[in-house]
A and B are shown apart, each in its own frame.
Chain A
Amino acid sequence: MNEKRIIGNRIVIPIGPQHPSLKEPGCFTITLEGEKVVHAVIGVGYNHRGLEKACESRSFIQTLYLIERVCGICSHTHSTAFCQGIEELSGITVPRRAAYIRVIIAELERLHSHLLWLGVAAHEIGFDTLFMYSWRDREKVLDILAEACGNRVNYGINTVGGVRRDLDDNVIQGISKMADSLENQLKYYLDLVMIDTTLSARLSGIGKLSREDAMKFGAVGPVARAAGISYDIRTIEPYGAYGEIPVKVITDDHADVFGRTVVRIREMLESLEILRFCIKNIPDGGIAVKAPRRIPAGEVISRTEAPRGENIHYIRSNGTDILDRVRVRAPTEANWHGMKHMLEGQYLADVPITIAAIDPCYSCADRAIVINSGNKTEVMDWQRLRQYSIEWYKKRGVDMASVKMPESKAYF
Chain B
Amino acid sequence: MVSALVKIFIFPGFVFMAAYSMFLEYLDRKIYARLQNRIGPPWYQPLADFLKLLGKETIIPADANRMMFQVLPIASLAAVATSFIYIPVFGRNAVAYFEGDVVVVLYLLTVPTMSLFLAGWYSRGIYSTIGSVRTLTQMFAYEVPLFMALLAPGLIAKTWSVSGMAEFYSRHPLYILINVPAFAVALIAGQGKLERAPFDSPEAETEIVSGALVEYSGKLLALFRMSVDCELVLIASLISAIFLPFMTGNVILDFALYLIKTCAILVFFTIMRSVMARLRVDQMLAFYWRLLTPVAVVQMVINLLVRGNLRL
Footprint of B on A, CB under 8 Å? Answer: 1-2, 5, 11-14, 19-21, 32, 35, 122-130, 132-133, 136, 196, 198-199, 201-202, 347-352
Contacts and interface: CB of A to CB of B under 8 A. Distances in A.
B104 interface: no
Interface residues of B, number: 30
Interface in B195-247: 197-198, 200-201, 204-209
A126 B281 contact: no
A348 B207 contact: yes
Given A132-B37, A133-B37, A5 B280 contact: no
Given A14-B126, A202-B280, A349-B281, 12 more contacts: A2-B129, A11-B126, A13-B130, A126-B200, A127-B276, A129-B35, A133-B37, A201-B279, A202-B278, A348-B207, A348-B208, A349-B278
Given A20-B209, A136-B37, A347 B281 contact: yes
B277 interface: yes
A236 B129 CA distance: 50
Contacts of A201: 277, 279-280, 283
Given A2-B124, A352-B206, A11 B278 contact: no
B23 interface: no
Nearest to A20: B205
25 contacts: A1-B63, A1-B126, A2-B126, A19-B209, A20-B205, A20-B206, A21-B205, A35-B281, A126-B205, A126-B277, A126-B278, A127-B197, A128-B197, A129-B35, A129-B274, A132-B38, A133-B37, A198-B276, A202-B278, A202-B280, A348-B130, A348-B207, A349-B207, A352-B206, A352-B207
B248 interface: no
B36 interface: yes
Contacts of A128: 36, 197, 274
Given A129-B36, A201-B283, A349-B201, A2 B63 contact: yes
Contacts, number: 90
B57 interface: no
B197 A5 contact: no
Contact of A347 (B127, B276, B280): B280
A129 B197 CA distance: 11
Nearest to B206: A21
Nearest to B282: A347
Q: Which among A1, A124, A128, A199 has the greatest number of chain B C-beta atoms within 10 A?
A: A128
A126 B36 contact: no
A129 B37 CA distance: 8
